[in-house]
Amino acid sequence: MGKWVQQIVGLQRADGSWGYFHGLSRSMKREEITTEQALRRLRALGLTKDDDPIRRVLDYIERCLLRETIIPDRREKAIDWDVFTSLMFAAWLRLFGRESAAALSVARQWAEVVEHTFAGGEYNHDDYIQTYNAQFSSRLRGSRPVAFGTFYHLALLPGTLAPSTEKVVLDYVLNCAGGIYYVYDEPLRILPKVFASRKCSHYLAAVELLAQYGSAPEQLGFVVEWLLHNRGVDGLWDMGADAKDGVYFPLSDSWRKADARKQDCTNRSC
């Protein structure tokens, strides 16, 4: 077990969580880490559902999805909180490949919403709201519906959409002005200008989400070409020291030597 994994696992609580759950958009500090931040970092470090720390936290998340356990986070009034948290829990379970009937049920609900939303070949907001309300029996009363196109939707939906719908959805995401919320905030169709950058690492995080979809090889071909173009003469990739953000990098115990950094970047880029 590497030092980064030990550092995070050492903060895991008896219930399998790291305390507060939601916090993908917050910076990660060693003394204060949310469950989502721990999940994202441990996944980047290569842990899977078969590793004990992940098994424990997935057990916790499934209890939360079934409403047997309530997360300690403040209930947000501005958003459709019950729908959002169910989406969030189900997305993490499916991202790690946990077989969960409850998570699959949530995925199928959202798939139904998405199929209707994109039935005309493009995103239709009126159809989205209509189907959203029908699926989730939503009574918003001043709170807003969960907007489509976030990290959670894209982690949840692989394998649930018709191929034709999937292609339209990926095209929509690739051209969305705001990128993928919580991951990358610019259009994915526009490649980062500087490969050796933290921005490039975050861009790859967004692409990695889309790579789970069946139509990804066809629609992400331009990303493959870009990666090949940025491979060094030594056959390795290097995103530079600035890519070290404590989330996706480093993977090695230390980046004091450039060789370790290059190996980490290459393992992720291949």
**Digit-coded pLDDT (tens) for 224-241:** 999 999 999 999 999 999
Per-residue confidence at 137, pLDDT binned at 50, 70, 90? confident
% of the chain with per-residue pLDDT over 90: 89
Contact 13, 264 (CB under 8 A): no
Verify cis geometry, omega within 30 degrees of 0, for the bond prior to 72: no
pTM to 2 decimal places: 0.95
Please write the tens of the pLDDT for every residue from 172-209: 999 999 999 999 999 999 999 999 999 999 999 999 99
- Start-end of H helices in 158-249: 163-175, 198-210, 216-219, 221-229
Structure tokens at 185: 């905030």
pLDDT, one tens digit per residue, over 58-116 is: 999 999 999 999 999 999 888 899 999 999 999 999 999 999 999 999 999 999 999 99
84 in helix, strand or coil? Answer: helix
Length of the chain: 270
The confidence band for 139, taking pLDDT boundaries of 50, 70 and 90, is: low
